[in-house]
Amino acid sequence: MISIKSKQEIEKMREACRIVALAHAEVEKALRVGITTKELDDIVERVFKENGANPSCKGYPRGSSNPFPAASCISINDEVIHGIPGPRRVKDGDLICIDLVCDKNGFHGDATRCYVVGTGSTVANKLVRVAEESFWAGFKKVKPGNRISDISYAIQDCVERNGFSVVRDFQGHGIGESMHEDPGIPNYGKFGKGPRLSPGMTLAIEPMINEGRYQVDILDDGWTVITADGMLSAHYENTVLVTETGAEVLTKL
């Protein structure tokens, strides 16, 4: 069931999304060659705590025998999503994607940013750029009356025109009182399919794109998703509100 948020609920989501954006800003300032992914994760957890929010990823899913152990998902190079922070040090040229979700007053905000650290390859820089461009291509289709797959089609078209592939095993999603709500938002598909968009819907739109083939594998940790061919991957995401006339990005300062 797709949730339509009230004005009061939207304001709560704005606050959660603002805190996610704050944490991203702090991480971006700290990101450098030599820093560990655990040090970046500590920054995220500190910002969340200082603003009265909880890291939604840490301990997710509740009751699992293998819950996610960190406040952030940090994925590097061939890691697509759900990379686990630890002692790994960031190297010159690394492509690093940082996915943050927090819960404030019972509502969630979710956003991912992707960077090339230092002097990266031409393809790494292009991949990061196209991941963001494909998000904005999908965002332009967010307006009342359009369908979910209009977003999906626009993302896929942007990515494939640039010579990359779209991950198919994972997708965007609705968001609100739960981190993952209906509807699912694939990053590929035909135009004009799926539920219609309505004012008050809140969506986490998140293109995940690969340098090579779209197929992925999951490491033995049960979380880290990698490209099956070992080539690079990039990920970009914002929480978006469907308004009366179009859409608004909530995860920005």
19 in a structural domain: yes
Helix/strand/coil percent split, the chain, to 5? 30, 30, 45
What mean pLDDT value characterizes the chain?
A: 98
Coil, helix or strand for 237? Answer: strand
Asked, as a colleague might, if the bond just before 69 is cis with ω within 30 of 0, I would say: no
Cα distances (Å, whole numbers) of residue 20 to 14, 128, 162: 10, 20, 29
pLDDT given at position 43: 98
At 11 the pLDDT is 98
Q: Is residue 1 part of a domain?
A: no
The structure tokens listed for 243 are 């308004």
pLDDT of residue 204: 98
Say how many domains are in the chain: 1
For 101-128, write each residue's pLDDT tens digit. Answer: 999 999 999 999 999 999 999 999 999 9
Residue 219 falls within a domain, yes or no? yes
132-161: pLDDT as tens digits: 999 999 999 999 999 999 999 999 999 999
Write out the residue range of the structural domain in which residue 69 sits: 7-249
Concatenated DSSP letters of 55-96? ESSTTPSTT-SS---SSEEEEETTEEE-PPPSSPBP-TT-EE
Mean pLDDT of 70-99: 98
Are 113 and 150 in contact, with CB atoms under 8 Å apart?
no
pLDDT > 90? residue 98: yes
The predicted pLDDT at position 177 comes to 98
Q: Per residue in 49-81, pLDDT tens?
A: 999 999 999 999 999 999 999 999 999 999 999
Contact, 43 vs 85, CB < 8 A?
no
Helices (H), the chain: 7-30, 37-50, 122-139, 148-161
Reported as type and span, the H/E element at residue 234 is strand 233-235
Assess if residue 194 is contained within a domain. Answer: yes
Instruction: Indicate which CATH number applies to the domain containing 120.
Output: 3.90.230.10
- Residue 227 lies inside a defined structural domain of this protein: yes
14 beta partners: none
Express each pLDDT in 5-26 by its tens digit.
999 999 999 999 999 999 999 9
pLDDT given for residue 66 in this prediction: 98
Assess if residue 2 is contained within a domain.
no
* Distance from C-alpha of 100 to C-alpha of 111, rounded to nearest angstrom: 6
Residue 33 has pLDDT above 90, yes or no: yes
Closest CA to 210 of 168, 171, 166, 169: 166
The Cα 207–Cα 198 span in angstroms is 21
Band (94; pLDDT cuts 50, 70, 90): very high
Count of Cβ atoms closer than 10 Å to residue 11 Cβ: 12
The pair phi, psi for residue 125, each rounded to 5°, is -65, -40
Mean pLDDT of all residues in 156-185: 98
| pLDDT value for 102 | 98
Residue 215 predicted with pLDDT over 90 = yes
> In this structure, what DSSP letter does residue 168 have?
-
Residue 69: the pLDDT is 98
**46 within domain boundaries:** yes
What values do phi and psi take at 17, rounded to 5?
Answer: -65, -35
pLDDT at 253 over 90: no
d(CA 8, CA 117): 39
Pairing of the two strands 208-210 and 233-235? antiparallel
